[in-house]
């Protein structure tokens, strides 16, 4: 007999950039009002930095900021415990502990819907359990859940397909910020008009690349310096997984595999001039995956730029390094 209309807070950070459309559609279909925090701003980042432990990585701190921003104005926060989103893979220990970390930091802390998502052993059962858990937290059962899931899946897959085409690179509802005129179009859809532009692979976690404040809009900057950007999301799953199969041992981080696969695939493309790896200081998986990618790129002679972000990173310094990298690539091409 629960027909309360929930005001549900969804922080616009971390995996919102991978599953935002799914979550929003699902909860809306279950009759909840979904409040997504605004795009990251200085205020939100400062809030997060003040709440999180100093050693956490910047995206986690930003997540704290978004959650704290929402805390006072919603009935509950949706902070899923993302253990694994595919078979035999993990995301990152910090995402496995995120709900508990927030509970210890936010005072007062609103109720947290911390559904465990664990698809590591049995993907189908794990997904079903997670969906049921999310619905149960809102007090919804039965066929409405299936309908909501179908709607969520449909929107999610349409959104994924759009990402691959390069139509809308940012998460679902920040579309208005995207000038749709092929800013981040993938290489395949560009044809001959891009002969002059250098093709640059920008690899990194989605929550860095697509968060314009946190990630300092690296794709946009590269574009303004005359580059054509290719992102991991522009590649097909098949291309990424196939490239990863050459590794001596399977990478057990979902995002690590995405980044490594994209890097391996792109460094083999003749027309890709160079790679930029965007990472956050203290990112565990990236410290190894990024280093391996850089080694492989160096062996192949593909220029590779590592940009590490933290809350002290100055934009001017970043711009200088990007400009120098792009200049070097132009000179290399004309040589």
Partner 1 sequence: MKVTFPHMGHLWLVLKAALEGIGLEVVVPPPCTRRTLELGVRHAPESACLPLKVNLGNFLEAKELGADTIVMAGGVGPCRIGYYAQVQREILRDIGCDYEMVVFEPPDVHFSEVWDKVKYLNRRPWQEGVRGVILAWQKACAVDSLEQELQQLRPREAKPGQADAVFQRALRELDAAGGRGEIKKIVKKAKSEMAKIPRHTSGPVLRVGIVGEIYTVLEPMVNLNIERRLGVLGVEVVRGLFLSRWINDNLFKGLLPLPGHHPEKTAPPFLNHFVGGHGWESVGDTVTFARHGCDGVIQLAPLTCMPEIVAHSVMPAVQEARGIPVMTIYLDEQTGEAGLQTRLEAFVDMLRWHKGRKAAQSF
Q: Which residues bind partner 1 (CB under 8 A)?
A: 52-53, 55-56, 81, 83, 88-94, 96-97, 99-101, 103-105, 114, 116, 247-249, 251-253, 281-292, 295, 308
CB of 291 to partner 1, least distance (A): 4
Least distance (Å) between residue 21 CB and partner 1: 26
Sequence-ordered alpha helix ranges (H) in 138-283: 143-165, 206-209, 218-224, 237-244, 254-267
Q: How far apart are CA 312 and CA 63, in angstroms?
A: 17
DSSP type of residue 31: T
- The values of phi and psi at residue 304, to 5°, are -140, 125
Residue 36 or 280: the one with the smaller Cβ distance to partner 1 is 280
Kindly state the smallest distance separating residue 76's Cβ from partner 1, in Å: 17
Residue 244 CB, nearest distance to partner 1 (Å)? Answer: 12
* Closer CB to partner 1, 35 or 288, in the complex: 288
Could you tell me the smallest distance in angstroms from the CB atom of residue 293 to partner 1?
11
**Least separation in angstroms between CB 297 and partner 1:** 12
Question: How far is Cα 211 from Cα 209, in angstroms, rounded to an integer?
Answer: 6
Q: Cβ 68 to partner 1, closest distance in Å? A: 14
Instruction: Provide the β-strand partners of residue 272.
Output: 199
Q: Which is nearer to partner 1, 72 or 284 (CB)?
A: 284
| Tokens linked to 161 | 């397909």
Cα–Cα distance, 42 to 76 (Å, whole number): 24
The alpha carbon torsion through 64, 68, 70, 75 (nearest 10 deg) reads: 110
Kindly report the number of other CB atoms within 10 A of residue 80's CB atom: 21
Residue whose structure tokens are 């989103």:
85
Nearer to partner 1, 195 or 299 (CB): 299
Per the structure block, which two tokens stand in for 12?
């616009």
Q: How far apart are CA 278 and CA 310, in angstroms?
A: 11
Q: How far apart are the first and last CA of the chain?
A: 73
Structure tokens, 210: 């697509």
Which residue number, 87 or 242, has a Cβ lying nearer to partner 1? 87
Cα 206 from Cα 190, distance rounded (Å)? 22
- Nearest distance, CB of residue 295 and partner 1, angstroms: 5
State which residue, 142 or 301, has the beta carbon closest to partner 1.
Answer: 301
Q: Between residues 272 and 283, which has the closer beta carbon with respect to partner 1?
A: 283
Summary count for the chain: helices (H), strands (E): 12, 10
Residue whose CB is less far from partner 1, 95 or 152: 95
């Amino acid at each position: 007999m629960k027909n309360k209309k929930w005001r549900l807070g969804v922080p616009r950070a971390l995996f919102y950039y991978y599953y935002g459309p799914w979550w929003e559609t699902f909860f809306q279909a279950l009759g909840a009002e979904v409040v997504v925090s605004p795009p990251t701003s200085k205020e939100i980042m400062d809030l997060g930095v003040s709440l999180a432990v100093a050693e956490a990585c910047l995206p986690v701190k930003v997540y704290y900021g978004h959650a704290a921003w929402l805390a006072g104005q919603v009935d509950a926060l949706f902070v899923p415990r993302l253990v694994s989103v595919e078979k035999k893979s993990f995301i990152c220990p910090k995402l496995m502990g995120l709900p508990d970390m927030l509970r210890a930091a936010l005072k007062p802390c609103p109720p947290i819907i911390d559904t465990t998502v664990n698809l590591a052993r049995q993907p189908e059962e794990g997904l079903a359990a997670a969906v049921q858990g999310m619905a149960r937290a809102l007090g919804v059962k039965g066929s409405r859940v299936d309908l909501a899931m179908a709607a969520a899946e449909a929107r999610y897959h349409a959104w994924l397909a759009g990402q691959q085409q390069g139509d809308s690179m940012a998460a679902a509802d920040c579309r208005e910020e995207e000038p749709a005129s092929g800013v981040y179009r993938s290489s395949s859809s560009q044809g001959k008009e891009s002969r002059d532009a250098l093709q640059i692979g920008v690899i990194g976690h989605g929550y860095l690349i697509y968060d314009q404040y946190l990630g300092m809009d690296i794709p946009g900057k590269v574009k303004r310096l005359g580059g054509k950007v290719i992102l991991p999301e522009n590649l097909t799953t098949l291309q990424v997984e196939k490239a990863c199969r050459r590794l001596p041992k399977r990478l057990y981080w979902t995002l690590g595999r995405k980044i490594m696969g994209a890097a391996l695939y792109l460094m083999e493309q003749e027309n890709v001039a160079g790679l930029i790896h965007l990472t956050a200081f203290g990112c565990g998986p990236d410290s190894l995956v990024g280093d391996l990618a850089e080694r492989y790129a160096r062996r192949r002679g593909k220029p590779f730029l590592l940009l590490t972000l933290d809350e002290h990173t100055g934009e001017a310094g970043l711009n200088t390094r990007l400009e120098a990298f792009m200049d070097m690539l132009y000179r290399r091409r004309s040589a």
